[in-house]
A and B are shown apart, each in its own frame.
Chain A
């Protein structure tokens, strides 16, 4: 059965399945995008007081910053540029900002239940990946049951990259950055991190020339 909550659900299915109102505290990605446009004013407490909305806003702000540059370049270099990659990332931001499963943390007291939400952990993965120059994280997925302590977990991320950047080196840096963040903040038993670059975007000539020395 298709489950919109399951990140493994194909994108074509997710696109036609509405998120539950609680996923983004009753808000949509479009509303959050408008809120960002308006400078988060007037303040909306139901957005400001929602962890999932804040995660989505963080990701939208980063996406907007990178996309502005990339789309400008795409438009200059290819008038019919396909901007579906932006929509794919927007879809994933909405899906992945939801709280999702509880990821447990150890504590000796039996009455203590300490957890990170799956959305919070996806958020640090996205931030770590986006911090690498020329990379923008699209989809992020866990294989393995993150709600079971010690369970072997594989992390798969899909990314967009700028043409002219050394992709293999960038993917390695993404992998290292994600590993470092997961080690710092979680107790997940991460066995491997796969980075797949799906979209390549044109960098402008000047920037490409600047990068020539490191290729």
Chain B
């Protein structure tokens, strides 16, 4: 991940955490990369910050978000709110509103 992508990932992670109903943000990277990152973060005793995956491509970035949500509200609605918040942040950062964004709810509790 480039430094621009890493900074965008950190901004988007903060954005996602701020959405009501989101209880956790998981690393959206591939399994092996997730496990490696978790190990490094544990060894360095640091909190993970850039958990939203930002992948670069010739057509522009794509974004993947993996979250846990509260069962107190509708998981589907929270998921849509997360997408809206991520898209608003991307537009604010100058990215097109057609940027592909995948939001995955992995846990409802």
Residues of A whose CB lies within 8 Å of any CB of B are 21-22, 25-26, 43-46, 49-52, 54-55, 58, 99, 102, 105, 107, 109-117, 119-121, 123-124, 127, 181, 184-187
The answer for the CA separation of A62 and B106 in the assembled complex, in Å, is 19
Smallest CB separation, A46 vs chain B (Å): 4
- Chain B residues with CB under 8 Å of A55's CB are 106-107
Question: Is there contact, CB below 8 Å, between B76 and A123?
Answer: no
Question: Is there contact, CB below 8 Å, between A105 and B101?
Answer: no
Question: Is there contact, CB below 8 Å, between A123 and B108?
Answer: yes
Contact residue among B35, B68, B98 (Cβ-Cβ distance under 8 Å from A111) = B98
The answer for the CA separation of A112 and B103 in the assembled complex, in Å, is 8
Q: Does B38 contact A (CB under 8 A)?
A: yes
The answer for the CA separation of A181 and B26 in the assembled complex, in Å, is 23
- Chain A residues with CB under 8 Å of B102's CB are 113-115
**A117-B106 contact in complex given A25-B31, A49-B48, A111-B100, C-beta closer than 8 Å:** yes
Size of B's binding interface in residues, CB under 8 A: 34
The 5 closest A-B pairs by CB, nearest first: A51-B106, A22-B31, A185-B75, A46-B38, A113-B102
- Chain A residues with CB under 8 Å of B83's CB are 107, 109, 112, 114
Residues of B whose CB lies within 8 Å of any CB of A are 24, 26-27, 31, 34-35, 38-39, 41-42, 48, 66, 68, 71, 74-76, 79-80, 83, 87, 97-109
Question: Is there contact, CB below 8 Å, between B108 and A25?
Answer: no
Question: Is there contact, CB below 8 Å, between A58 and B27?
Answer: no
- Chain B residues with CB under 8 Å of A102's CB are 104
**A116-B71 contact in complex given A45-B42, A50-B26, A55-B107, C-beta closer than 8 Å:** no
Smallest CB separation, A184 vs chain B (Å): 6
Question: Is there contact, CB below 8 Å, between B74 and A185?
Answer: yes
Question: Is there contact, CB below 8 Å, between B105 and A111?
Answer: no
